[in-house]
Amino acid sequence: MAAMEIRQEQSLKLLQKLVLTPQLQLAIRLLQLSRLELAEEIRTQLDANPVLEEDGQAEENLSYQDAASDSGDMGEPSPAEAPPRSMSEANDVVDVDHEPGPRLDDAADWDRFVEGYSRFSSGPQIRVTNEDYPSIESTISRKGNLTDHLLWQLQLSDLDEAGQEVGAFIIGNLNDDGYLLDVSDDEIAAHTNADEAFVRQILLRIQAFDPVGVAARDLRECLLIQARTNHPDNDRLRLLIEKHLPDLERKNFPAIARGLRCSLDEVKILVETIVRMEPRPGRAFGTDDVVYIQPDVYVFKVGGEYVTVLNEDGLPKLKISPYYEAALGSGAPGEARDFVQEKLRSAMWLIRSIHQRQSTIRKVTESIMRFQRDFLEKGVTQLRPLVLRDVAEDVGMHESTISRVTTNKYVHTPRGIFELKYFFNSRIGSVYGEDQSSESVKSRIQTLVDAEDLRNPLSDQEIVERLRRENVVIARRTVAKYREALGILPSSRRRALV
C-alpha cells in the first residue's frame, strides 16, 4: 500500500476582484441620495469631521459646473450593501486601479493635496429667483383640523356632561373624511357608560354639525343627512339616495326615472343636486401639507439652445478648516498628525464625491434633454420612446447607473417640473414612421376623452380605432390600462344625462 504524501505548496494566482472600500461606498451612497437627503448628509459630515467647515461667505445660488478635472465621472449609485454587479459599473463610480488623491506622507504634500478642493462648487454662477416657493405666511400659520372644529361646536352646544363625553368619543373616532367607521353604537355605549338610545341621540346631533354629513356610517347615510338638512321637502331626492345609488353609479338614468316615476328632466335636476353634495365632509379640513419639490437641475433656453444648470441653492458649501491646514503644515506630533491626515482624507473624499455626483446628474440630464428636445419645444405629445440603454450608451455609463441617477431627481424645464424617470417611455407601434412613446399616447387619450360627446362617450375600442387613424397601433386592453392610469372612468360611467 503506497503511502500518502502530504506537503505544502505556494502558488500565485492573478484575480480581478472588486473591493468596496469605505471611500467607494461613500461615492455610491451620495449619488443615490435625493437633494434634501444630500443636504442632511452634508450636515451630518460637518458635525462628524472637524476638518470640514461651511463656507459662510458663499452665496446660495445655482452653479453650472464641471467636476474637478481630476475627479472622473461618477456612476453606479447603488446602496453600500448592494455592491456593483460588474467592474464596468464600479468604474462608473471611481477608478478602482488607483487610490484617489495623494498620500500625506510629507508635510510638503499639503498644498498639492488641498489644491482645487477647498470649495464645494466652482465655475460660473447664475442667480435664480424661484417664485414657486411657499410664502412666509403659509409656513407659520396653523391649519385647523376636523376634530378641533367639531369639538368647538360640541362645547358650544347645550348638551350635559354625559352628552359631551359621548360626543367627544364619537368625534375622536372619525376618520379624515369625517366617517364613523369600525365603531358600533353598543361599543360607544360600553366605553362611555351610556345606553344605546342615548348614543344614537347624540350621534344625530353631531351629524347636524358643520360640515353637514359628518359621523355617517357610509356614503348613503352621508348623502341622506345632507338631503334631510338642506332639502327637507324633497322626498324624491331621498328616495333616489336610498334606492337607486347603484343605478346612479352606472348612470342608468332610465331605470331611475322608472323607479321614481318621473321624467328624465326631473331625474337630471335630482342628479345635479346630488353632484353638489359633499361625499367626504372632512375633506375641507384635511391636514396633509403640500409637498414642495425643489428641482435638482434647471433647464433654461438660451437663444436656440437649452442649458442645464445644477441647483445648489441651499446646499452647504464646504471648505477645509484653515486651522487644521496650519496645524498640519507646522509639523504636529505623530499621533495628532495621523488623526488630522485621516480626517483630511475623509474630507477630500466627501468633497470629491459631491463633485462627481453633481457632474453625473448634469451629464445624464443633458443627455436626456438631447433625446427629448422635441418635448421641450412642443410638449408632452412629442415625447419620444427612450430606454435606459440609450442614455447609458450616450454618456458611457452602465444602465443601472442611469436608473439610480434618475430616481428621486427632478428637473425644472420650460414645460414644468418632472422626475427624470418621467422621460423614459416604452414604445408604441405606428402604422408608418417612427414609434411613439407611451406618455404621448396617454396624452392623446386624455385629449380624445376631453373632447368627446358626453351623451355618447367613446368606448375603449373606439379610442383604439381613432388612434389607429392617427398612426398609433395599440390594443384595447392597453387603452383600458392607460385610461385607468389617467383616472378616466369607463364609457358607461362617463355618460351624461340627456
- Exposed, middle or buried: residue 183 (CB in 10 Å: 0-12, 13-18, 19+)? middle
Question: Rounded to an integer, what distance in angstroms lies between the CA atom of residue 470 and that of residue 444?
Answer: 10
Among 183, 186, 182, which residue's Cα sits nearest to residue 198?
Answer: 186
pLDDT at 58: 45
- To 10 degrees, the CA torsion angle through 245, 251, 254, 255? -30
Among 145, 126, 143, which residue's Cα sits nearest to residue 283?
Answer: 145
User: Is residue 437 within 8 Å of 427, Cβ to Cβ?
Assistant: yes
Look up residue 347 and give its three cell numbers. Answer: 474630507
pLDDT at 197: 92
Question: Rounded to an integer, what distance in angstroms lies between the CA atom of residue 77 and that of residue 375?
Answer: 28
C-alpha dist (Å) from residue 446 to 12, 52, 494: 66, 52, 13
Outline where 379-437 has alpha helix (H): 388-395, 399-405
The CATH architecture of the domain made up of 428-494 is: Orthogonal Bundle (1.10)
Look up residue 6 and give its three cell numbers. Answer: 502530504
C-beta atoms surrounding 307 within 10 Å: 14
pLDDT beneath 70, residues of the chain: 1-4, 18-19, 56-144, 287-291, 329-333, 430-435, 497-498
Domain boundaries, the chain: 34-127+295-402, 146-285, 428-494
The sign of the torsion formed by the CA atoms of 331, 336, 342, 344 equals negative
pLDDT at 293: 81
Q: What is the largest CA-CA distance in the chain?
A: 113
Task: Assign 90 to helix, strand or coil.
Answer: helix
pLDDT at 169: 94
Long-range contacts of 91-97 (CB under 8 A, 24+ apart): 92/397, 92/398, 92/401, 93/24, 93/27, 93/28, 93/31, 93/356, 94/23, 94/24, 94/27, 94/356, 96/18, 96/19, 96/24
